[in-house]
Amino acid sequence: MNNLAFKESPHIKPNGVEIAETILLPGDPLRAKFIAENFLENPVLFNEVRGMLGYTGEYKGKKVSVMGTGMGAPSMAIYSWELIHIFGVKNLIRIGSCGAMQDNINLYDIILAMGAATNSNYAHQFNLPGQFPITASYELLEKAKKIADGRDCSVHVGNVLSSDVFYNADKTAMEKWAAMGILAEEMETTSLYLNAASAGVKALTILTVSDHMIRHEQTTPEERQTSFTEMVDIALALV
């Protein structure tokens, strides 16, 4: 996407409402609405284009925004790029769900994504002369770990798989990634971390385990939308 194409067809239209320098990014726009209405003071809607709801409010006296990003690396790529380059966001915190790939991880555990393995080709556009390590902001990661350690929750720090494939025809793929120590699978961290790195801003993915890919356990869509509050508390504490 070039700047001209963006100006002709923006995907975020805040209509004069400020977007804060720190933003929480759930995949589900209804989760963004739930967070705004239950965690923020004086939330104001800043985007509803394509149903991707975004709000700006206050948390303990500091401005913070929250907006849905949709599913997959391309959707996250569009919204995070616009938030960074057009609206000046400096801290992007993905809060999402994931499928656990290790037996010592349970439903509702918290995962802090230190890095992301991927089968996405998103990094190709940067024309780098090699492979780039897709990693979180250490500053945000360190702070999030300290915050999480002070709470009554089970937290894991490590690498996740940021996949372009939801329904994988290769039934051995999960076993191969799990053997490399991958904690869980999700779909958005690759483009978020790459966009942040290329722009010199900070990004972190905080995940709640919604499914267990080994034990075939899962939560309901309603639970994923409204009950994953621990990771929201950790993310907001970073503000």
| Residues annotated as part of the active site | 211
Q: Which of 67, 69, 57 is nearest to 18 (CA)?
A: 57
Q: By the 8 A CB rule, do 25 and 95 touch?
A: yes
Confidence of residue 227 (pLDDT cuts 50, 70, 90): low
Average pLDDT value for residue range 211-234:
84
Res. 110: pLDDT tops 60: yes
Give residue 219's pLDDT.
Answer: 85
Give residue 1's pLDDT.
Answer: 44
Q: Is 88 marked as a binding-site residue?
A: no
Give residue 225's pLDDT.
Answer: 60
Confidence of residue 152 (pLDDT cuts 50, 70, 90): confident
Give residue 9's pLDDT.
Answer: 64
d(C-alpha 19, C-alpha 76), whole Å: 17
Average pLDDT value for residue range 176-183:
97
Average pLDDT value for residue range 114-138:
96
The one-letter amino acid code at 148 reads: A
Taking residue 208's Cβ as centre, other Cβ atoms within 10 Å add up to 24
Mean pLDDT is lowest, of 5-9, 45-49, 148-152, 207-211, for 5-9
Q: Is 186 marked as a binding-site residue?
A: yes
Average pLDDT value for residue range 199-216:
95
In tens, the pLDDT along 37-96 reads 999 999 999 999 999 999 999 999 999 999 999 999 999 999 999 999 999 999 999 999
Domain limits, the chain: 3-237
CATH code of the domain occupying 3-237: 3.40.50.1580
Q: Is 231 marked as a binding-site residue?
A: no
Q: Is 96 marked as a binding-site residue?
A: yes
Q: Which of 20, 98, 100 is nearest to 62 (CA)?
A: 20
Give percent of the chain with pLDDT exceeding 90: 86
Average pLDDT, the chain: 93
Give residue 10's pLDDT.
Answer: 77
Give residue 7's pLDDT.
Answer: 52
Q: What is the largest CA-CA distance in the chain?
A: 49
